[in-house]
Amino acid sequence: MSRPPGVPTPDELEARITELRAAVRRAMSAGDRQRARELRAGLRDAERAWDDAVLGDDPEAEQREPGGREAGDRETGERKPGARETSERRSGQGRSGERETGERESGKRDTGEVERGLLPVREQVHQALTLLGAPAAPKLIGAVYAAFFPGEISSTRLTSLRRDEERSFRTAPYARPYYLCAALTADLLAPARGLLTVSTWPLEQRIVGPLSPRTDFLTAAARLAEHAAAGRGTPSPEVQRLLWRFASNIPGAGTGTVGTADPAALAEAARAELDVHREADRRRRASAARRARDRLDDAERLFGSRLRAVRGSGRHTARRSGRRSATDPAALSE
């Protein structure tokens, strides 16, 4: 079958997709989010064109499918529950008894799935981390998303998210605009337990030192408070409770009322204390970032270096010094 003139071949589309992915990465690295969004739109168009060129499309299939289902239903005398519920919702016809109760429960489940599935979980985490502007634990990420965004993040999906991101990066480096990666400890450059960051952040921002937990806490508090103050109207109860959790741990940020916080007062108190610790923390992070750039490869700079045990080093040291180790069976028997 001949291809119409002017229509790109699958090979040409694949080359175009590769070029667009690289351009998206460069735009994100340069901090040009507007350009990255434009490139991602072009990338989606190229991917759809590739699907059409390779897989083809059958416009008659969609027209045949509803009739095929109805014909099959007539032959078997059965209708699929999903099709019945969909037709009932569209026509607005009610049902009584157990069928109506079951549909209401199904509707609740569908609504919950829609609320949780508005975005992929990695997009949800990315939005929460971008708002926080600092490494954060999954529990805080979930609380921030639930307070400031529609829906919620499924906690079960967060347990393996970082491993999935690392596996994806090692399989196809920089194929995505960003990755959700681990924070790195300043001393060992190893992954910090339970802290997530975004790969597009500067390396210094993804490193945690002795003062970083406090400075990151204050940074997150100030950013959340400023975001809440910039919104229209009074913050929601969920936002108020979240801000109060921050305010209760920052001197001068509390309003005296349990469960509520003044966003402006919280931001001011957080920024004031942050000025005390910022410079010392920045120096420690900058020093660790220099070591990471010199010693780690691309994957390790995102996901941390792996600690490796040196077998037998303690026993050999003890023998060379003429002393027995405390765990040596011969020493225990003496």
The reported pLDDT for the residue numbered 11 is 79
Provide the pLDDT for residue 19. Answer: 83
Q: Which neighbouring-strand residues pair with 136?
A: 196
pLDDT at 211: 96
Q: What is the pLDDT of residue 131?
A: 97
Q: How far apart are CA 70 and CA 307, in angstroms?
A: 61
E-assigned strand segments in the chain: 180-185, 191-198, 207-208
Which pLDDT score is estimated for 16?
Answer: 85
Q: Which percentage of the chain shows pLDDT scores above 90?
A: 46
Position 154 scores a pLDDT of 80
CB 204 within 8 A of CB 285: yes
Question: Which region among 128-142, 217-231, 309-323 has the lowest average model confidence (pLDDT)?
Answer: 309-323
pLDDT, position 23: 84
Under the banding of pLDDT at 50, 70 and 90, the label for residue 33 is confident
Q: What does the pLDDT read at residue 25?
A: 78
| 83 pLDDT above the threshold of 50 | no
207 versus 152: the higher-pLDDT residue is 207
**Contacts of 274 by beta carbon, 8 Å cutoff, 6+ apart:** 215, 218, 219, 222
Position 106 scores a pLDDT of 42
- The yes-or-no verdict on residue 57 having pLDDT over 70 is no
The mean-pLDDT minimum among 87-101, 171-185, 242-256 falls in 87-101
pLDDT of residue 179: 96
Q: What pLDDT shows up at residue 5?
A: 65
Mean pLDDT in residue range 59-78? 43
Query: Would you say residue 308 has pLDDT above 70?
Result: no
Q: Which of 12-21, 217-226, 274-283 has the lowest mean pLDDT?
A: 12-21
Average pLDDT over residues 295-318: 71
Question: Nearest-5° angle of CA 128, CA 132, CA 134?
Answer: 120
How do residues 187-222 score in pLDDT, each as one tens digit? Answer: 999 999 999 999 999 999 999 999 999 999 999 999
61 band by pLDDT with thresholds 50, 70 and 90:
very low
Question: Span 56-82, mean pLDDT?
Answer: 45
For residue 265, pLDDT beyond 80 = yes
DSSP letters for 103-148: HHHHHHHHHHHHHHTSS-HHHHHHHHHHHH-S-B-HHHHHHHHHHH
Instruction: Supply the pLDDT for residue 146.
Output: 94
Report the pLDDT averaged over residues 38-48: 86
Taking the CA atoms of 279, 280, 281 and 287 in sequence, report the sign of the dihedral they define.
positive
- Report the C-alpha gap between 272 and 275 in whole angstroms: 5
Mean local confidence (pLDDT), 66-74: 42
Phi-psi map region of 190: left, alpha, beta (phi>0 left; psi -120 to 50 alpha): beta
pTM for this structure? 0.60
Predicted confidence band of residue 185 (pLDDT cuts 50, 70, 90): very high
The 3-state secondary structure of 254-293, one letter per residue: CCCCCCCCCHHHHHHHHHHHHHHHHHHHHHHHHHHHHHHH
Stretch among 25-29, 249-253, 304-308, 325-329 having the lowest mean pLDDT: 325-329
Predicted local confidence at residue 136, as pLDDT: 97
Output the pLDDT for position 4.
Answer: 63
pLDDT value, residue 77: 44
Q: Measure the CA–CA gap between 253 and 263, rounded to whole angstroms.
A: 9
